[in-house]
Amino acid sequence: MTDEEVARFLQDNPAFFQQHPGLLTDLLLPDPHQGNAVSLIERQALLLRERVKVLEARLAELIRIGRDNDALARNLVDWTRALLEEPDRGRRAPLAVAELQRIFAIPLAEIRTWSEAPGEHDAQAARLVSSLHAPVCGCDIDLTPFRGLAEVWSEVRSVALVPLRRAGQREAFGLLALGSSDPARFEATLGTAVLARIGELASAALAPLHSGTQESAPMTLR
């Protein structure tokens, strides 16, 4: 009788050990940890304990993720509230930057906006940002299209670029840039769902009131 046939027999006859209870203690199996022989019941108990440890580890990880998400949601609410409580639109951009750095502990943050008829250099930046369908993160993002940013952020090792655009429009009117000297802070594999929400909220707070509004010069805030 082969091993497969024995296994199939036991599966097809789940009451076998109820009819022969003595086998549960008479059958000896090697202990996977100590090498000693243990009964079938003891081996099952070992397997169950190992499964419990795995489940406990998964539960602890889920609890940690839940707490992190809860803290992230609270931070997002605090940042949004700060923007909503500022009645002066002209002060919202510096406030958005300052509160992002304070609440989310982001070392470097900058907002740039451009008019609907930007100069040549800003037009290049506008085209690049408008081509982004979602925020991008990475350690090797080229910042040279954004005038002066590469020089100011020479020590930055990871960057997140978040396009700012009016709802329903493809063209971006600005950029939110986040930087850190920690290569892992905005690594390329980072999820961008929260960054996208921040971009949507910042866009709603900073977008010109009318589509025809033009700004005399790009706005740079650090």
Alpha-carbon distance of 165 to 175, in angstroms, equals 9
pLDDT for 46: 75
**Which tokens hold the place of 183?**
């290569």
Q: Kindly tell me if the per-residue pLDDT of 41 is higher than 90.
A: no
- Tens of pLDDT, residue by residue over 167-182, are 888 889 999 999 999 9
What span, in angstroms and rounded, lies between the C-alpha atoms of 66 and 70?
6
pLDDT given for residue 11 in this prediction: 77
Q: Are 169 and 132 in contact (CB under 8 A)?
A: no
pLDDT of amino acid 30 = 64
Please name the CATH architecture into which domain 89-221 falls. 2-Layer Sandwich (3.30)
State the average pLDDT over residues 137-156: 86
Q: What pLDDT band is residue 28 in, cutting at 50, 70 and 90?
A: low
> Helix, strand or coil for residue 137?
strand
| pLDDT over 60 at 67, yes or no | yes
Q: Residue 211 has what pLDDT?
A: 46
The residue assigned the tokens 């589509």 is 211
pLDDT, position 110: 93
**DSSP code string of 46-113:** HHHHHHHHHHHHHHHHHHHHHHHHHHHHHHHHHHHHHHHT---GGGHHHHHHHHHHHHS--SEEEEEE
Domain spans of the chain?
37-85, 89-221
185 against 33, higher pLDDT: 185
Is residue 22 classed as helix, strand or coil in its secondary structure? Answer: helix
Tens of pLDDT, residue by residue over 187-198, are: 999 889 999 999
Q: Among candidates 84, 110, 101, which has minimal Cα distance to 205?
A: 84
Average pLDDT, the chain: 82
In sequence order, what are the residues at sequence separation of 6 or more whose Cβ sits closer than 8 angstroms to the Cβ of residue 157? Answer: 139, 180, 181, 182, 183
CA 55 to chain centroid: 24
CA distances, 90 to each of 86, 95, 209, 219 (Å): 9, 9, 12, 11
Is residue 24 pLDDT above 90, yes or no? Answer: no
CA 199-200-201 angle, to 5 degrees, is 95
Q: Is the pLDDT of residue 216 over 60?
A: no
